[in-house]
Amino acid sequence: MARMHTGRHGKSKSRKPKADLATIPENFNKEEVGEIAVNYAKQGIPQPMIGQLLKEKHNVPYIKHAMGQRLGQVLESKGLTQEFPQDLVDLMRRAIRMRKHIGKNHNDSSNKRILNNTESKIWKLTKYYKSRGVLPKDWKYEPEKVELIIKS
């Protein structure tokens, strides 16, 4: 599968090991891991950071192998999902930073191109999330409104 804004091709297969008993620690309880993840989510920690904390502090290599569900599914069942998906929020933050930079540095043509590519990714993701029902059908990416949403 080709990369979005380059002429190169990437490798699309997963590198995670298959779920087997050797990768799951024995002193492990599904409910405890779920409670820890829910507590982190209640503190406002985003999903990627929760996964990282579970790996580093609690020795949980893969949440899906341990609990039988992905972290997003666990949090969704508890009603702790975010308004916007994390990958979309990260891209919008990046676009906001670039717009501020271009406002100060008008002649920075390479960053103008990168901003164009980033916003292209945002539009592509919003189209995907609208089709999946994650975002409302009438939601539209507008940089001024998004900047207010991200700040709050």
pLDDT tens digits along 52-76? 999 898 888 888 887 888 888 899 8
What percentage of residues in the chain have a pLDDT greater than 90? 45
CATH 1.10.287.10 in the chain, residue ranges:
86-151
Amino acid at 71: L
pLDDT tens digits along 80-122? 888 888 899 999 999 999 999 999 999 999 999 999 999 999 9
Strand partners, 2: 9
DSSP letter string, 29-86:
-HHHHHHHHHHHHHTT--HHHHHHHHHHHH--S-HHHHHSS-HHHHHHHTT---SS-H
**Closest by alpha carbon to 51, among 27, 30, 33, 68?**
33
Q: Are 56 and 95 in contact (CB under 8 A)?
A: no
Q: Are 54 and 37 in contact (CB under 8 A)?
A: yes
Look at residue 105 in the predicted model and tell me its pLDDT. 95
Look at residue 113 in the predicted model and tell me its pLDDT. 96
Q: Does the global pTM surpass 0.85?
A: no
Q: Which two tokens stand for residue 116?
A: 């164009």
Selected residue with higher pLDDT from 24 and 135: 135
Instruction: Evaluate whether the domain defined by 86-151 bears CATH number 1.20.58.1290.
Output: no
Look at residue 97 in the predicted model and tell me its pLDDT. 95
